[in-house]
Amino acid sequence: LLAIQPCSFFEDHIALGEVDSTNTVAERELSSGRPTPFFVVADCQTAGRGRRGRNWHSPQHKNLYLSIALRPSLPPSRLQTITLWLGLRLCQLLRDTYSLPVQIKWPNDLLIHGRKIAGMLTEARVDSEFTRDLVFGLGLNVNTSETDFPEELHSIASSLSMNLGQPLNLSRIAHRIVHHLSDAIQDYLNEDYADELAHLWPEFDFLRGQGISTEQAEGTAVGITRNGSLRVEREDGSIAILHSGEVSLRKS
Ligand code: ATP
Ligand code: BTN
């Protein structure tokens, strides 16, 4: 099991071997009243998931599968950009620690040289205008090698070790990430970080200047709005705003 030292922000944590999904475990624990904040880590997942039920490849002992559970008691509008904020703070951490050119791809991926090294999945339960439960899930490819990935991920996925040319100590990086995220979460919950997010975004924005084509708009990505939607500039100069299913709301 992954050993992580306690950190004062969290009430406790759960380290497990094989699970279906750490997000699912965290949601179950929230429902049964476990005190927050807490986090869940696992050695591997049999049903790791991405957005819209897509699968997250989660082999044993190689990578980080982490879910952080909170009861923020804030209106959903105050939490709209939490995934982007935590993603940016992870980019900073990985750049500063390993000198890796990590970028964030709106709305929920972290990339190095255009290949995905991490995915984030935030799931929340809203109760009469307030967010009762929130789970932030992070899958970070730490020690997967090219051949560990299934064929269909070969050209699109990567890992920290593939970029650094050597394996990393998984416990150490897990520990760093958990501590860094606890700071980032406290910052975010204590203050309105809209200005800071807008200021930091261009530095790590993978999509900036890239062509975007969706049912709603065709144009060039030109950053995000204050509430975390993607701004796309059409050829005629008008701006389209694309919303994401970034925080999937499960009404209770
Ligand atoms: P979008 O751009 O809409 O987010 P996406 O392809 O990134 O699309 P997500 O739901 O964000 O979709 O992420 C899930 C996808 O990530 C999977 O369909 C697969 O292509 C890819 N994937 C799955 N496991 C891994 C992994 N361990 N590392 C990197 N990529 C993975
Ligand atoms: C995505 O790219 O769509 C998000 C992938 C998120 C994967 C992580 S792994 C830990 C947590 N548990 C899950 O089932 N999903 C997230």
Smallest CA separation from ligand 1 atom 21, residue: 56
Q: What are residue 149's phi and psi, to 5 degrees?
A: -80, 145
Ligand 1 centre to CA of 120 (Å) is 10
Ligand 1 centre to CA of 51 (Å) is 8
Query: Dihedral sign, CA of 68, 71, 76, 82?
Result: negative
Count of CB atoms situated within 10 Å of the CB of 14? 18
Ligand 1 centre to CA of 37 (Å) is 27
Assess if residue 241 is contained within a domain. Answer: no
Find the domain containing 190 and state its range.
12-206
Assess if residue 191 is contained within a domain. Answer: yes
pTM of the predicted model, to two decimals?
Answer: 0.95
Ligand 2 centre to CA of 180 (Å) is 18
Give the CATH number, domain containing residue 21. 3.30.930.10
Assess if residue 201 is contained within a domain. Answer: yes
The CA-based dihedral angle spanning residues 5, 8, 10, 11, taken in that order and rounded to the nearest 10 degrees: 100
Of ligand 2's atoms, which has the minimum distance to the CA of residue 118? 2
When divided into structural domains, the chain yields a total of 1
- Rg value, the chain, Cα: 18
Assess if residue 155 is contained within a domain. Answer: yes
Residue 107, ligand 2, Cβ within 6 A: no
Model ipTM?
0.94
Assess if residue 236 is contained within a domain. Answer: no
Assess if residue 1 is contained within a domain. Answer: no
The CA-based dihedral angle spanning residues 153, 224, 96, 160, taken in that order and rounded to the nearest 10 degrees: 0
Assess if residue 218 is contained within a domain. Answer: no
Residue 106, ligand 2, Cβ within 6 A: no
Smallest CA separation from ligand 2 atom 9, residue: 139
Taking only the tens of pLDDT, the chain with its 252 residues reads: 898 887 889 989 999 999 999 999 999 999 999 999 999 999 999 999 999 889 999 999 999 999 999 999 899 999 999 999 999 999 999 999 999 999 999 999 999 999 999 999 999 998 878 888 999 999 999 999 999 999 999 999 999 999 999 999 999 999 999 999 999 999 999 988 889 999 999 999 999 999 988 877 889 999 999 999 999 999 999 999 998 744 333 333
Beta bridge partners of 220: 211, 233
Assess if residue 229 is contained within a domain. Answer: no
Residue found by looking up tokens 């064929």 in the block: 151
- Check if the beta carbon of residue 240 is closer than 8 Å to that of residue 216: yes
Cα–Cα distance, 104 to 112 (Å, whole number): 9
pLDDT at 245: 47
pLDDT at 131: 82
Residue 12's nearest CA partner among 34, 27, 42, 31 is 34
Burial of 133-165, coded b for 16+ CB within 10 Å and e otherwise, reads bbbbbbbbbbbbeeebbeeebeeebbbbbbbee
